[in-house]
């Protein structure tokens, strides 16, 4: 297994370009959450030329809709959701807002992978379904925008050593596709 | 109301045809089976408890199968992810928090014994109320929107997605499942041609697994429905994922297909979390039903590794 890398947010284009698909990374610092509804609203705000409630430059968006926190707990279960639903917004966010990274699960579209190369950004994968485990890496959570969206509001999370893998890097690498190809067993080959 | 003594065809006020049959006479002596009363409140209380329990506890049969599969996984990363899934389930159970933040569509299967009489409220509303209370008090995420286009959250995870069957007996069996949206979105249905046969079914299932990749949160249970018509096929696939993990189908044709498909699914290379590996599914469950001479419907319902369902009998 590859050596573990560490990054602290906010992180630069240079740092983003130092990461490669398959790298295991522990992220510390601030993550901003956002999913379908928040992305839609940010895009609409941009289009209307109005100011955004959060600065995304060199930040990482974590695609998550946590479950409600128990009394006294920081957050409820908080694993990644499927990233592909946000694909349509990503090239614009990378170009216009300077977004540097995203954490989610699942495949990204070709336009997203192309934009990562163009703007020097990274798509990290967390393991889907580890909501209870990943919540332990979150030190604080506060709503910073769109509170009316409930679990889809934008939260500012402080995280400590949040475990991810680089899925799509700034060079066209893809850890899902490369990993799957490595373990794909061709029946004809085995028979030969 | 049928006028006395009239049999045959009449038309009612809505101009629809009404067929009157001769009056049915019970064979003598008339044997009446007493009905067993079940109060709607019992149903609500039960559904509420099942909702909370299932979201904090990944199904034991799934976890046991996952534990057995760790050593079969060839990838180091894959084995680590499988251990993390087991650890995640342990934390959820011990701390009483949801194993996964997506606590799902609440899918409720109800088998109502025909000698069972529900009193004190209606069945569907009793179930919805149980979901409402369970998701609120259990601090489970509310993920249902009232209209697929308007997308306004109902804020209590209702409505439940209810499938009711009338069965023999005087019991009421309730199975509640939390079905995550990520895996549900990777489900597929196709009306194949009969000539495509078993090879066509296999190709379709494998394609679905490959397309799902990491999105369905593997290792998965692949629920496959074959036969029926459009909607029965889909329901077969969903019911298939409720079967205890790895228990073969009763029909030998289905059981053979399950074994062959599991082998092929685990050769796709998708692996745990989709990062590559040899354990993509812990089981393929096939359910079949008679179908039309021109049809071969096949449906694939993906169940993520956060496999959560519980049942109770009243």
Residue pairs spanning A and B at CB distance below 8 A: 169
Dist. CA B58–CA B182, nearest whole Å: 17
Regions of chain A where pLDDT drops below 50: 190-192
Q: Is residue A40 part of a domain?
A: yes
Query: What domain count does chain A have?
Result: 1
Give how far the C-alpha of residue B121 lies from the chain's centroid of Cα atoms, to the nearest Å: 25
Q: Is residue A192 part of a domain?
A: no
Q: Is residue A120 part of a domain?
A: yes
Q: Is residue A190 part of a domain?
A: no
- The tens place of each residue's pLDDT in chain B, 314 residues long, gives 445 555 666 565 666 777 778 877 777 666 667 899 999 999 999 999 999 999 999 999 999 999 999 999 999 999 999 999 999 999 999 999 999 999 999 999 999 999 999 999 999 999 999 999 999 999 999 999 999 998 888 999 999 999 999 999 999 999 999 999 999 999 999 999 999 999 999 999 999 999 999 999 999 999 999 999 999 999 999 999 999 998 999 999 999 999 999 999 999 999 999 999 999 999 999 999 999 999 999 999 999 999 999 999 99
Distance of residue B298 Cα from the nearest chain A Cα, in angstroms: 24
pLDDT tens-digit readout, A14-45? 999 999 999 999 999 999 999 999 999 999 99
Q: Is residue A61 part of a domain?
A: yes
Distance of residue A69 Cα from the nearest chain B Cα, in angstroms: 7
Nearest to A183 among B81, B92, B278 (CB): B278
Say whether residue A168 is in contact with chain B using an 8 A CB cutoff: no
ipTM summary value: 0.91
Length of chain B: 314
CATH number reported for the structural domain that contains residue B207 in this entry = 3.30.1330
Q: Is residue B150 part of a domain?
A: no
Dist. CA A9–CA A158, nearest whole Å: 10
CATH number reported for the structural domain that contains residue A37 in this entry = 3.20.130.10
Identify the pLDDT of residue B1.
Answer: 45
Q: Is residue B100 part of a domain?
A: no
Q: Is residue A118 part of a domain?
A: yes
Say whether A133 and B304 touch across the interface (CB within 8 A).
no
Q: Is residue B39 part of a domain?
A: no
In terms of residue numbers, what domain contains A21?
4-182
Query: What domain count does chain B have?
Result: 1
Say whether residue B94 is in contact with chain A using an 8 A CB cutoff: no
Identify the pLDDT of residue A190.
Answer: 47
Q: Is residue B139 part of a domain?
A: no
Query: What is the secondary structure of B2-65 as a DSSP string?
Result: PPTT--EEEE-TTS-EEEEPPPP-PPSSP-PPPPEEEEHHHHHHHHHHHHHHHHHS--HHHHHH
Dist. CA B12–CA A8, nearest whole Å: 75
Q: Is residue B286 part of a domain?
A: yes
Residue A79: list chain B partners with CB under 8 A: 100-102
Identify the pLDDT of residue A151.
Answer: 76
Say whether B276 and A128 touch across the interface (CB within 8 A).
no
In terms of residue numbers, what domain contains B196?
181-306
Say whether B271 and A127 touch across the interface (CB within 8 A).
no
Q: Is residue A69 part of a domain?
A: yes
Distance of residue B251 Cα from the nearest chain A Cα, in angstroms: 27
Q: Helices (DSSP H) in B74-190: which residue ranges? A: 76-95, 123-137, 181-184
Dist. CA B54–CA B40, nearest whole Å: 21
Residue A130: list chain B partners with CB under 8 A: 84-85, 88, 100
Q: Would you put residue B158 in left (φ > 0), alpha (ψ -120 to 50) or beta?
A: beta
Identify the pLDDT of residue B9.
Answer: 61
Identify the pLDDT of residue A29.
Answer: 97
């Amino acid at each position: 297994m590859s050596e573990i890398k560490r990054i602290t947010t906010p992180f630069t284009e240079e740092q983003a370009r130092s990461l490669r698909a398959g790298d295991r990374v522990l992220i510390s610092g601030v993550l901003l959450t956002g999913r379908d509804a928040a992305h839609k609203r940010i895009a609409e705000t941009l289009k209307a030329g109005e100011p955004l409630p959060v600065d995304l430059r060199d930040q990482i968006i974590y695609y998550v809709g946590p479950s409600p926190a128990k009394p006294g707990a920081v957050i409820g279960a908080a694993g990644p959701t499927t990233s592909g639903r946000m694909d349509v917004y990503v090239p614009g966010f990378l170009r216009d807002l300077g977004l540097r990274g995203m954490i989610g699960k699942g495949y990204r579209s070709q336009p997203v992978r192309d934009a990562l190369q163009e703007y020097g950004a990274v798509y990290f994968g967390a393991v889907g379904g580890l909501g209870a485990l990943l919540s332990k890496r979150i030190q604080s959570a506060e709503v910073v925008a769109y509170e009316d969206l409930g679990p889809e509001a934008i939260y500012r999370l402080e995280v400590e050593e949040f475990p991810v893998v680089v899925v799509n890097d700034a060079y066209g690498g893809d850890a899902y596709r490369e990993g799957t190809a490595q373990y794909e067993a061709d029946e004809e080959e085995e028979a030969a | 109301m049928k006028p006395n003594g009239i049999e045959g065809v009449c038309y009612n006020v809505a101009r629809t045809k009404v067929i009157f049959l001769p009056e049915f006479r019970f064979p003598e002596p008339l044997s009446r089976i007493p009905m067993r009363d079940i109060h709607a409140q019992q149903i609500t209380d039960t559904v509420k408890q099942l909702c909370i329990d299932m979201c904090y506890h990944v199904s034991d049969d799934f976890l046991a199968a996952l534990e057995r599969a760790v050593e079969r996984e060839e990838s180091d990363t894959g084995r680590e992810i499988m251990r993390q899934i087991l650890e995640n389930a342990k934390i959820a159970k011990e701390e009483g928090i949801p194993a996964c933040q997506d606590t799902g569509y609440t899918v409720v299967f109800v088998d109502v014994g025909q000698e069972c009489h529900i009193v004190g409220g209606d069945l569907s509303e009793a179930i919805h109320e149980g979901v409402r209370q369970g998701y609120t008090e259990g601090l489970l995420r509310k993920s249902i929107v009232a209209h697929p286009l308007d997308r306004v959250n109902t804020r209590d995870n209702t409505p439940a997605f209810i499938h009711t069957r009338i069965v023999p007996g005087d019991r009421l069996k309730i199975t509640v499942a939390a079905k995550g949206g990520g895996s549900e979105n990777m489900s597929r249905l196709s009306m194949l041609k009969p000539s495509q046969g078993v090879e066509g079914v296999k190709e379709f299932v494998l394609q679905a697994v490959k397309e799902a990749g990491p999105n369905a949160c593997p290792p998965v249970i692949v629920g496959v429905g074959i036969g029926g018509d459009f909607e029965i096929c889909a329901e077969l696939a969903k019911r298939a994922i409720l079967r205890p993990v790895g228990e073969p189908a009763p029909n030998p044709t289905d059981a053979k297909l399950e074994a062959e498909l599991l082998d092929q699914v685990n050769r796709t290379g998708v692996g745990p979390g989709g990062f590559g590996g040899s354990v993509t599914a812990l089981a393929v469950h096939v359910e079949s039903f008679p179908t039309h001479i021109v049809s071969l419907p096949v449906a694939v319902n993906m169940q993520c590794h956060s496999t959560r369902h519980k049942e109770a009998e009243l």
